[in-house]
Chains A and B, each alone.
Chain A
Amino acid sequence: MLHSLVFVLVNGLVYGLLLFLLSSGLTLIFSMMGVLNFAQASFYMLGAYLGYQIMAWTDYWVALFVAPVAVGLLGAAVERYVLSKTHHRGQVAELLLTFGLSYLIVEGVKLVWGVNAVNYGMPPSLNFPIFAINGVSYPAYNVFMMVVSVAIFALLYVLLTKTRIGIIIQAALSDRDMVGMLGHNIPRIFALVFGIGCALAGVAGVVGGNILVTEPSMALSLGPIIFVVVVIGGMGSFGGALVASLLIGLLQNYMTTLNVSLAGLVGVSLGSHAPFRELLNQPLSQLAAIMPYFLMILILAFRPKGLMGKVES
């Protein structure tokens, strides 16, 4: 019992931090540029495929560095040469553009790497159990994922609060026109921010792609959930994105271990003709996948600015 609780907790944290890597990029881009980057999960997928490919050519550690940089550069180029042309036309144009881009990336990946999952394995140097409870061992790689996520955030925090460019980015979050009038090149800062946001997704792809299967549908399977995270946490709030990511990660992982049904929870047994019998007899683990969406709807209905957001979404 103890080992399953610890594992659920650690797995929830690992998954939550992965969600945060993705949603913080989305949050960074949204809060500064007002762009809802629909292609965020596609950049995540691209990170996983590039990670796989570079690892095949060289090794994992090179991939961990090069793939996110490549994804970030692609993101910056997209902003600089394409997306920036739509900013003056408002959010619908931007959203449609990133929507189209997400499909282009998915189809491009299928053309290059095929429609089936690729064999993206763990680096041998991290493929060992790191601890065991009651004879059940826990993989070191999962702990490594956590370390990478936390390290990236520490890095991002230092970049945004302690460096000159970070302070300029923060200023541009609140008033980009003024930052421009003070002599800072806003289009270049936008490209940088979009690139960093995409690179964060790229990191998530490289570290998450090998334990969550690298395949063309991976963008679609994670895409909606990061928007859920951002809505629950509050649009444009990094703290909110962190809380919501961990909440969803822990909740989903915990629920998948629950075999008890709603009816069982309250201790009633239902006759074969009872209304909602199917629903009430479902084990709660079956409801884990829809839980985040249920939460999102509750948040939108009763607290539209999210847990920690400043603007109504």
Chain B
Amino acid sequence: MLEVTDLHAYYGKSHVLQGVNLTVGDNQVVRLLGRNGVGRSTTTKAIMGMVRVAGSVRFKGREISGLPPYEIARCGIGIVPESRNIFPTLTVYENLLIGMKSKNQKGRWSVDATFDLFPNLKERARTAAGVLSGGEQQMLSICRTLMGDPDLVMVDEPTEGLAPQLVEQVGVLLEKIAAQGVAILLVEQKLQIALRISHQVLVMGHGRIVFSGTPKDLLAQESVRREWLEV
């Protein structure tokens, strides 16, 4: 579904992505691990068209690098940024509406289905999103992206700063998303969630992918974990 080949990106003079290669297959859950600052978030931003890149990004067979973000979104890629980026002055309901790419979009997700998943959000549908708790904002941010009915969703550090039971909730939500046939590229710093559902694990270091394999392979490779993951 997604093929990234030799992707390079720069912030000013610093060469952040130094030839990233990765693929995400249909319905696959791929986790992108690595320490802070190795370029994981930049990779998702680069795929989304938010960062100028060199190299190739193909999605469903179409070259999408160089397209503006809204066109990439319309191809079927969704992103849930680490900073959540909810619209604080708008209500929860309005935040979800904006997730829809057109007024009468029909897809795997609806506002009602979202509210069934999170009764909390339903109760606060008319509340300004800015007053939600961190966990609720995270759920809202994920659900808002789902409203656009993406075929691939990139979720950046969804458990950052969340209490343990909320981390579990995020894990359950990601499983539900995967069960709908949506591919997931999950950026995580720790080996915390979603091990159950991930098909492939990528480890990133110094702007490139340094390990690629199944979760089991990674568990077996202590040297990789020590060199690239453990602090």
Contact = CB atoms under 8 A, between A and B. Distances in A.
A179 B98 contact: yes
A184 interface: yes
26 contacts: A164-B97, A167-B94, A167-B98, A170-B87, A170-B89, A170-B90, A171-B87, A175-B87, A177-B50, A178-B81, A178-B87, A179-B98, A180-B69, A180-B73, A181-B50, A181-B70, A181-B79, A182-B98, A182-B144, A183-B73, A183-B148, A184-B70, A184-B98, A185-B70, A186-B68, A187-B68
Interface of B: 48, 50, 68-70, 73-74, 78-79, 81, 85, 87-90, 94-95, 97-99, 101, 103, 144-145, 148
Given A177-B85, A184-B101, 13 more contacts: A164-B97, A164-B103, A170-B89, A174-B87, A175-B85, A177-B50, A180-B68, A181-B50, A182-B98, A182-B99, A182-B145, A186-B70, A187-B68
A187 B70 CA distance: 10
B98 A168 contact: yes
Contacts of A179: 98
**Nearest 4 CB-CB pairings of A with B:** A183-B73, A183-B101, A178-B85, A180-B69
A177 B84 CA distance: 12
Interface string A184-227: 11110000000000000000000000000000000000000000
Interface residues of A, number: 18
Contacts of B78: 182
A301 B222 CA distance: 62
Contacts of B101: 182-184
B141 to A, nearest CB: 9
A181 B48 contact: yes
A168 B103 CA distance: 11
A168 B48 CA distance: 20
Interface in A148-184: 164, 167-168, 170-171, 174-175, 177-184
Interface in A13-35: none
Nearest to B76: A183
Contacts of A182: 70, 73, 78, 98-99, 101, 144-145, 148
Contacts of A186: 68, 70
